[in-house]
Amino acid sequence: MKKIASILIAATAFVGVASSVAYAEAEKDAKSVGFSFEGPFGKFDKAQLQRGYKVYKEVCSNCHSMKYVAFRNLADKGGPGFNEEQVKALAASFKIHELNDKGEGVDRAGLASDTFPSPFATPEAAAAALGAAPPDLSLITKAREGWHGTFNQLVNGIGGPQYVYSLLTGYEKPSAEVAKEAVAGKFYNPYFASGAWISMTPPLTDGQVTFDDGAPNKVDDMAKDVAAFLTWTAEPKMEERKQTGFEVVIYLLILAGLLYALKRKVWADIH
């Protein structure tokens, strides 16, 4: 038994050491920034989600779609906590492009049951207009890793929200060496997952979005808020998931305890 343990520890150490050598596709791992929803008891900060929504609406939605999110989701439990009236107004502020009975394209105001419309008709149209097609943002925080490593990710999570935050705050002036490899029309961002040159112009500037509650609106703040909002769009059931998890695990531990006691009793005459 001792031998087994020591060999397993050796194996673990080997894997652990090796996996801390990151083979990052991005040049840099995402910055370590804290969010209220992290950890087994984490919850979204509703005010932050509402600010993040505003950033999406005023900045990101000009290029990025969010097609798996419906306006009505903004009123769902565990989310930004808008009420029905606000949702109706929010929805109506978007134009939905549809074909009418005669097959002609028309615009109409959004309804709560609609999903966020895409700013471009097709990805090809987006690429033609912008150089590269901006990815849909509904799942972006689940579709990106902030860092790698088997144990790193077990302890710190996969780092999706941190990736988004780092990308938005990560535009840098490249060193002279690196600047030589500059690609026309792209910007240097060492946090970008597909290599350090990104087609997206730095989207945020200080004070760009004013928040109704007067919260700080430097690039750093807006990046945090929109990263939190996009975590909600990717995982709208996160709070329910963690709450249910707590109940299930406690229940299973109790049941396990009872079964173990029963097992000891039943096996008493054999041992």
Q: Which is nearer to another protein, 75 or 209 (CB)?
A: 75
Q: Which is nearer to another protein, 160 or 203 (CB)?
A: 160
At 86, is the secondary structure helix, strand, or coil? helix
Please enumerate in sequence order all residues whose Cβ is within 8 A of that of 218, keeping only pairs 6 or more positions apart, or say none: 206, 207
Give the start-end residues of each E strand in 104-242: 105-109, 187-188, 197-198
Per CB under 8 A, the segment of 4-12, 168-176, 184-192, 197-205 that binds another protein is 4-12
**Least distance from another protein to the Cβ atom of residue 18, Å:** 6
Task: Tell me if 194 contacts another protein by CB under 8 A.
Answer: yes
Among 29, 80, 145, 168, binds another protein (CB under 8 A): 145
Residue 96, phi then psi, degrees to nearest 5 = -105, 125
Among 2, 40, 103, 176, binds another protein (CB under 8 A): 40
Site string for another protein, 102-141 (x = CB under 8 A): ---------xxx---------------------x--xx--
Please enumerate in sequence order all residues whose Cβ is within 8 A of that of 203, keeping only pairs 6 or more positions apart, or say none: 59, 60, 168
Q: Which is nearer to another protein, 110 or 221 (CB)?
A: 110
Query: What is the residue whose two structure tokens read 């966020």?
Result: 116
CB 38 within 8 A of CB 48: no
Rounded-to-integer distance, Cα 122 and Cα 157, Å:
33
Task: Tell me if 86 contacts another protein by CB under 8 A.
Answer: no
Rounded-to-integer distance, Cα 19 and Cα 159, Å:
16
What count of other Cβ atoms lies within 10 Å of the Cβ of residue 122?
10
Among 2, 77, 173, 265, binds another protein (CB under 8 A): 265
| Residues making contact with another protein (CB under 8 A) | 3-4, 7, 10-11, 14-15, 18-19, 23, 25, 40, 68, 70, 72-73, 76, 111-113, 135, 138-139, 142-145, 153-154, 158, 160, 194, 234, 236-237, 240-242, 244-246, 248-249, 251-256, 258-263, 265-268, 270-271
